[in-house]
Structure 1
Amino acid sequence: MVVDGVDNEIKKSALELIGNTPIIALDRIHPGPGRILAKCEFMNPGASIKCRSSMHMIERARESGQLKPGAPVLEVTSGNQGCGLAVVCAVLGHPLTLTMSKGNSVQRAIHMEALGATCIRVPQVEGTYGNVTLNDVKAAEAEGLRIVEETGAYYVNQFNNEANAQSHYETTGPEIWRQTGHHVDAFVATVGTAGTFTGTSKYLKEKNPNLACYVVEPSGSEPIKGEPITKPLHLLQGSGYGCVPNLFKFDYMDGTLSVTDEESVKYKKFLGEKEGLYVGYTSGANVAAAVKLLESGLVPRDAWVVTLLNDSGLKYTPVPEELT
Structure 2
Amino acid sequence: MANTEHQQYGPTDIKGSVLDLIGNTPLLALDRIWPGPGRILAKCEFLNPAGSIKDRSAYSMLKYAKEEGRLKPGAPIIEVTSGNQGCGIAFVGAVMGHPVTLTMSAGNSPQRAEMMVGFGARCDRVPQVEGKPGNVTLADVDAATAAAQKIIDSTPDIFYVNQFNNPNNCRAHEEATGPEIYRQTGGRIDAYVATLGTAGSFVGTSRYLKRQNPAIKCVVVEPAGAEVIAGKEVTKPLHLLQGSGYGKVPELFDYEVMDEAMNVTDEEAVEYKKLLGSKEGLYLGYTSGANVAAAVKLLKSGKLPPDAWVVTLLNDTGLKYSELHK
Q: TM-score range by the shorter chain?
A: over 0.9
- Aligned match of 2:53: 49
Aligned equivalent of 1:277, options 254, 279, 282? 282
Which residue number in structure 1 is paired with residue 169 of structure 2? 164
Given residue 267 of structure 1, which amino acid in structure 2 is its aligned partner?
Answer: Y
Given candidates 186, 208, 215, the residue that maps to 1:210 is 215
Aligned equivalent of 1:108: 112
| Larger-Rg structure | 2
Q: Distance in 2 between matches of 1:96 and 1:229?
A: 34
2:94 matches 1:90: yes
- 1:160 alignment partner, SS class: coil
Q: Does 1:69 align with 2:73?
A: yes
Decide which of 23, 26, 34 is 2:30's aligned counterpart: 26
**For residue 236 of structure 1, what is the aligned residue in structure 2?**
241
Which amino acid counterpart does residue 58 of structure 1 have in structure 2?
L
CA distance in 2: counterparts of 1:28 and 1:53, whole angstroms: 31
Deviation of the 1:6 alpha carbon: 6.3
Q: Closer, same or farther in 2 for the Cα pair 1:290/1:151, shift >3 Å?
A: same
2:189 matched to 1:184?
yes
CA–CA separation in structure 1 for the residues paired with 2:35 and 2:185? 18
The match for 1:146 is: 150
Asked if 2 retains the 8 angstrom alpha-carbon contact of 1:173 and 1:200, the reply is yes
Distance 2:35 2:324 in 1: 27
1:218-257 correspondence runs (5 A):
218-257=223-262
User: Cα 1:215–1:151, aligned 2, differ >3 Å: closer, same or farther?
Assistant: same
**Which residue does 1:197 correspond to in 2?**
202
Contact kept? 1:295, 1:301, Cα under 8 Å: no
What is the distance in 2 between the residues matched to 1:194 and 1:133?
17
2:293 corresponds to which residue? 288
SS at match of 1:62: helix
2:125 corresponds to which of 121, 126, 133: 121
* Structure 2: tracts of 5 or more residues without a match: 1-7
Give aligned-pair identity as a percent: 65
- Residue 310 (str. 1) matches residue 315 (str. 2): yes
Distance 1:222 1:96 in 2: 33
* Partner secondary structure for residue 61 of structure 1: helix
Give 1:65 deviation, angstroms. 0.6
SS in 2 for 1:74: strand
Q: Aligned equivalents of 1:196 and 1:288: distance in 2?
A: 18
Q: Distance in 1 between matches of 2:309 and 2:107?
A: 36
Q: Aligned with 1:223: secondary structure? A: coil
C-alpha distance in 1 between matches for 2:96 and 2:116? 15
Q: CA RMSD in A?
A: 1.1
- What is the deviation of 1:7? 3.9
CA–CA distance in 2 between the matches of 1:132 and 1:254? 28
Kept in 2, the 8 Å contact 1:268–1:281? The answer is yes
For residues 272 and 320 of structure 1, what CA distance do their matches in structure 2 show?
Answer: 13
